[in-house]
C-alpha cells in the first residue's frame, strides 16, 4: 500500500537535500540533529557529497545511526534557471532527494534549494496527480485562528491560475488544513480586492461558482471572497489565490513583520529607561519573537504531485530546517498524500457524474 511508502519499523523516513541552501550542509545537518533529538520516530536519507556529509554527521553523537547518506556530486544553485535544471540536474543532490520519494523509500522530501528548480524537478520526476494541471505551493500564515494559522496557496508555483486551477487549489488547501491543522471542516475563501460579489476579475467570479458548488461534496465550507486583511484574521482557514498574487502577498507580509520588528528594537534602544525595561521584559519579548519568527513556520508544501515535497527557506538555519522536517513528519504521519490523492480522484469522478447527469448544474452558486 502506498500509505506505507517510506515507513520502516514504526518510523517514517524523510529524504533531505543537504545542499543548495544559503548556509550549506552544516546548517542542514544541525537541523536534522535537532529533529532527531526531538523525535525518535524519524529516520533520514541525506543527499549530497558523501565524504563531507559523513564528516558532518559523525561529529554529532548518535546521528549516524539515524541517517543513510546518498552520494550526489552536483548542486542546483539559487541562480540556475528551472528550464536549464530539468535538462542537467541528474546527479545533483536535489534530483537524488526526489528520487528517494519517487522510489518509495521515503515519504516526504525536504530541500532548502532553488524554489523554481525544485518545483520543475518535482513535476518532472514525481509527475502531477491525475487531473491536476498546475501544482501549488501552500504555506501556513500566522493568524488569529485557534490553530494559529491560515493555509495560503498558491504562493508561487505558477504565476497563472485559471478557474479550474483555483478550484483545485481550494480542494488541495482544504485537504492540507484537514491533515496539517486538524480541522474537520475547513473554511475556504477566494482572495479578491473586496468581499462584495460584484468586485474583482471575471475569472474570480467564475472560480467562485465552481468552488461554491464543490464545497459540500468535498467536505469544506466556502465563505466567499476574502481580502488581504484576512490573511491574519479568523474568518477563514484556507485562502486561495494565483501564484503571482500569493507570492507578492507572502513577501509583503514577511517584510512588514520584519519592519515592525526593527522598529521595536529601535524603540527599545531609545533610552536607558527603555533598555532597562527591555531587560525586564526579556521573556515576553522572546515569546513575541518566537511567534513572529518566520523560521518557526518554515516550509512551503508542494501540492498536486505524486509525493509530498517540503520547500524550506533558502536562508534556513538549524531551527528553520528542523521546522521544515517537523512539518514533513506531520504530513507523513497523517497519511496526507494518500488522502489528498483520494479526495482529488473522488472530486474528478463527481464532476464527471454531474456533467453527465445535469450538464448545466455546475453553474449554480
| Chain positions contacting its own copies, by CB under 8 A | 81, 142-144, 156, 159-160, 191, 193, 198, 200-201, 227-233, 241, 243-245, 247-264, 267-268, 270-271, 273-274, 276-281, 283-285, 287-288, 291-292
Q: How far is the CB of 323 from its own copies (least distance, A)?
A: 18
Nearer CB in complex with its own copies: 266/360: 266
Nearer CB in complex with its own copies: 216/255: 255
Nearer CB in complex with its own copies: 30/257: 257
Which of 231, 265, 274 minimizes the C-alpha distance to 251? 231
Q: How far is the CB of 297 from its own copies (least distance, A)?
A: 13
Rg of the chain on CA atoms, in Å:
21
Nearer CB in complex with its own copies: 51/248: 248
Asked if 220 and 187 touch (Cβ cutoff 8 Å), the reply is: yes
Nearer CB in complex with its own copies: 16/112: 112
3-state secondary structure of 62: coil
* Cα–Cα distance measured from residue 300 to residue 153, given in angstroms and rounded to the nearest whole number: 9
Q: How far is the CB of 126 from its own copies (least distance, A)?
A: 23
Nearer CB in complex with its own copies: 248/352: 248
Which of 296, 326, 328 minimizes the C-alpha distance to 313? 296
Q: How far is the CB of 243 from its own copies (least distance, A)?
A: 7
The total number of residues shown for the chain amounts to 365
Q: How far is the CB of 127 from its own copies (least distance, A)?
A: 25
Nearer CB in complex with its own copies: 144/185: 144
Q: How far is the CB of 181 from its own copies (least distance, A)?
A: 17
Q: How far is the CB of 296 from its own copies (least distance, A)?
A: 13
DSSP at 312:
P
List phi, psi (to 5°) of 225: -70, 140
Burial class, 126, CB count within 10 angstroms (exposed 0-12 / middle 13-18 / buried 19+):
buried
Q: What cell numbers appear for 65 in the block? A: 545511526
Neighbours of 137 (CB within 10 A): 25
- Pairing status of strand 7-8 against strand 11-17: antiparallel
Peptide bond into 195 cis (omega under 30): no
Q: What cell numbers appear for 357 in the block? A: 447527469
Nearer CB in complex with its own copies: 288/345: 288
Within a 13 Å sphere around the CA of 250, how many CA atoms are in the beta-carbon half? 28
The secondary structure of 200-254 as a DSSP string is S-HHHHHHHHHHHHHHHHHT-EEEEEE-GGGGSSSS-SEEE--HHHHHHHHHHHH
Q: How far is the CB of 283 from its own copies (least distance, A)?
A: 7
Amino acid at each position: 500500500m502506498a500509505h506505507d511508502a517510506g515507513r520502516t519499523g514504526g518510523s517514517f523516513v524523510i529524504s533531505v537535500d543537504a545542499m543548495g541552501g544559503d548556509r550549506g550542509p552544516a546548517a542542514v545537518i544541525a537541523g536534522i540533529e535537532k529533529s532527531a533529538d526531538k523525535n525518535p520516530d524519524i529516520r533520514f536519507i541525506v543527499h549530497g557529497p558523501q565524504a563531507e556529509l559523513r564528516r558532518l554527521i559523525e561529529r554529532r553523537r548518535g546521528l549516524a545511526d539515524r541517517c543513510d547518506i546518498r552520494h550526489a556530486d552536483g548542486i542546483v544553485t539559487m541562480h540556475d534557471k528551472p528550464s536549464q535544471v530539468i535538462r542537467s540536474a541528474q546527479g545533483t543532490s536535489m534530483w537524488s532527494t526526489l528520487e528517494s520519494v519517487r522510489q518509495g523509500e521515503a515519504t516526504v522530501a525536504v530541500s532548502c534549494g532553488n524554489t523554481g528548480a525544485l518545483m520543475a524537478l518535482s513535476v518532472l520526476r514525481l509527475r502531477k496527480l491525475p487531473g491536476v494541471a498546475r501544482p501549488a505551493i501552500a504555506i501556513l500564515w500566522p493568524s488569529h485562528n485557534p490553530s494559529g494559522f491560515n493555509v495560503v496557496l498558491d504562493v508561487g508555483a505558477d504565476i497563472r491560475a485559471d478557474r479550474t486551477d483555483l478550484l483545485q487549489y481550494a480542494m488541495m488547501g482544504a485537504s492540507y488544513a484537514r491533515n496539517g491543522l486538524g480541522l474537520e471542516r475547513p473554511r475556504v475563501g477566494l482572495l479578491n480586492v473586496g468581499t462584495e460579489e460584484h468586485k474583482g476579475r471575471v475569472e474570480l467570479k467564475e472560480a467562485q461558482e465552481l468552488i461554491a458548488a464543490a464545497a459540500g461534496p468535498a467536505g469544506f465550507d466556502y465563505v466567499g471572497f476574502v481580502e488581504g486583511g484576512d490573511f491574519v484574521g479568523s474568518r477563514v482557514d484556507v485562502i486561495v489565490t494565483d501564484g503571482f498574487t500569493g507570492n507578492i502577498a507572502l513577501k509583503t507580509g514577511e517584510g512588514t513583520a520584519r519592519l515592525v520588528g526593527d522598529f521595536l528594537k529601535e524603540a527599545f534602544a531609545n533610552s536607558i529607561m527603555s533598555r532597562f525595561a527591555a531587560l525586564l521584559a526579556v521573556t515576553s519579548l522572546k515569546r513575541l519573537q518566537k511567534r513572529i519568527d518566520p523560521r518557526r513556520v518554515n516550509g512551503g508544501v508542494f501540492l498536486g504531485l505524486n509525493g509530498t515535497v517540503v520547500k524550506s527557506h533558502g536562508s534556513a538555519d538549524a531551527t528553520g530546517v528542523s521546522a521544515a522536517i517537523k512539518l514533513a513528519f506531520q504530513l507523513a504521519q497523517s497519511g496526507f498524500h494518500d488522502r489528498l490523492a483520494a479526495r482529488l480522484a473522488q472530486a474528478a469522478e463527481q464532476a464527471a457524474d454531474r456533467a453527465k447527469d445535469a450538464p448545466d448544474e455546475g453553474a449554480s452558486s
